[in-house]
Amino acid sequence: MRVVMVSKAFVVDAYQRKCELMAEADPDLELTLVTPPSWRWGARVSTFKPAHVRGYAVVVAPIALNGSFHLHWYRGLGGLIRRLQPDIAHIDEEPYNMATWLAFRAARSAGARPLFFTWQNLARAYPPPFRWFERSVLRDARWALAGNAAAAAVIGAKGYRGPTTVVPQFGVDEEIYRPPAGRHSDRFVVGYAGRLDPEKGVDTLIEACAPLREVEVQIAGAGPERERLGALAERLAMTSRTHFLGSLDTAAMVAFYQGLNAFVLPSRSRPNWVEQFGRVLIEAMACNVPVLGSRSGEIPNVIGDAGALFPEGDISALSDALRTLLGSPDAARAIGQRGRERAVAHFSMRRIALDTVRVYREMRN
């Protein structure tokens, strides 16, 4: 079974492990990854470095309009797909992106069965030409992968009638994100990781922790809210207990999670955004950290019974939930253990790889 996967996401070296696990899962799988030499995430640039490339082939293809999520495309992809003659072309992009539409055209011309991936959990009406791209892709796709149940419902409402499998794009590597050998601090440390954007609700976290004098807050990430959040911490006399760590690499993120007593994802839904998954949740869960999340988007489905939920923006509810963890260390440990079990069972990189290969097998039949 020959599969070509086209994805800019694999410029992130940790994500490449998924392809290795897919190759391990099926010895008959001949997988070729097509990824760009780099990708611009706003002001930040990720450069492809082969870190986990055993068992499959990699083609680093030039990309046009680097950094444009909706308009980028791969130079020479049509000729590459015709040369490789895959059975399946996996386009790891939203159906309304130009890269997906062009790759689908190339797949059809080579006789390959195309599938796409979507995170989009809001029913948006796109202007031309994106509306045309989406309509064409939804018509021609032989399968769809959706990162959450809401995204699957969105493409169904837009007319997609093919099979859909709900599976996140990437899982967590439980061999890297693992519980610490032990926690020896007397402090109760609550953490957040991610962009410092208004919709992430980090102000809710700071305000909820203000009356909890035993609590220290650690915030990993960067974004436009950094100055305002610092001012809020100062106004609440939280400066000495609130630490902004900036963006961290993988090793530092693991150490960050392992030093926490609780992790909070306090996202707030907006008309144009709701939480699509919350990868930081499964990373924290894999490290045995009790997690608390708002009810935005996919967060309740990720946490399941392995953590606590609170209404979006509800400062007192979050404060009460943290106070409960503070007063019940045995219960907190049990919640952390359930989180680890749930992350490994449902959201590990290996599980995501196996679920993706299972889709390929179904498509081949």
Domains of the chain (ranges; CATH) run 2-171+348-364 (3.40.50.2000), 188-346 (3.40.50.2000)
Q: What is the pLDDT of residues 301-334, one digit of tens each?
A: 999 999 999 999 999 999 999 999 999 999 999 9
Q: Which residues, including other chains, have CB under 8 Å from residue 102's CB and lie 6 or more apart?
A: 73, 74, 77, 78
Q: What is the pLDDT of residues 186-233, one digit of tens each?
A: 789 999 999 999 999 999 999 999 999 999 999 999 999 999 999 999
Strands lying side by side in the sheet with 262-265: 242-246, 215-220, 188-193, 262-265, 291-294, 307-310
**How far is C-alpha 260 from the geometric centre of its chain's CA atoms?**
21
CA distance 270 to 6: 31
Q: What is the pLDDT of residues 114-137, one digit of tens each?
A: 999 999 999 999 999 999 999 999
Q: What is the DSSP letter of 12?
A: S
Enter the pTM of the model. 0.93
